[in-house]
Amino acid sequence: MDRWWSDGSETGPRLWQGIFAILATGCLLGVGQNALVRYGNPKGGLAWKYEAPKLDSLDDVATSAAPAVSAPAGDSQPGGSHPLPPDMNDPLQIVGSASAGVPDIPDVGRPIQIDTTKVKAFFDAKAATIIDAREPAEYAEGHIPGAVNLPYEQVATDTERLEDFDPKGKPIIVYCGGGTCEVSMNLGFSLVSAGKKKVLVYMGGWPEWTSAGYPVAKGATPEGA
């Protein structure tokens, strides 16, 4: 009995030392491989710390999505470019038309960042559906007039509610508390995943809106909004 216990007490530490050695080696190899991947491609591998997703600005996306000028009639130059077809979701080009004073929003299948000036243009033209992603108490204290309160924490896992949300054929602008607030961006991605198009994220959010002296409303979202 004493011998069995003695043999076991000697084997136990060795066994655990072997396990720890294997785990440590695996971790070191993983870290080394990730370092090599990121060295060759900074966007590849895993980030060393959490990095919030970065959204393209509306100006950048609009520039890259702008239709190229068609080649003149009779120009046989190969590879001649052609304008993009009209947006079938807006065949009359009502939303985002120049006459409305708001920029056109390309459908790129991902949220796009929008600045205060353009948000105000959409607000004045009533050409966008605005969503406040903050909690109801914050919304009630003050929000952009006409904005619908859709708290991210309440709808993050409620895909049916997001799918049923009706933007009334307009682009969607989502905002929150600005600064380090990321719920507007998260809600933007959730809306895109739910099938919504032309989703814009107002990163400056409520602080920038109020700092600019723009209109403010108070109270809860009206029933049925």
**Range of 43's domain?**
1-51
3-state secondary structure at position 201: strand
In-domain check, residue 222: no
DSSP letter string, 67-127: PPPPPPTT---TT---PPPPPTTSTT--TT-GGGTS------SS-EEE-HHHHHHHHHHT-
Residues 140 and 172: beta-carbon distance below 8 Å: no
- Alpha carbon of residue 61 to chain centroid: 14
Q: Are residues 120 and 185 in the same domain?
A: yes
Residue 143 confidence (pLDDT) above 70: yes
In-domain check, residue 216: no
Look at the chain and report how many structural domains it folds into.
Answer: 2
pLDDT digits (tens, 9 = 90+) for 91-130: 434 444 443 578 888 888 899 999 999 999 999 999 999 9
φ/ψ (deg, to 5) at 174: -115, 135
- Alpha carbon of residue 14 to chain centroid: 50
Q: Are residues 180 and 105 in the same domain?
A: yes
Q: Are residues 205 and 95 in the same domain?
A: yes
Q: Are residues 119 and 25 in the same domain?
A: no
175: DSSP letter: E
Q: Are residues 119 and 16 in the same domain?
A: no
Model pTM greater than 0.75? no
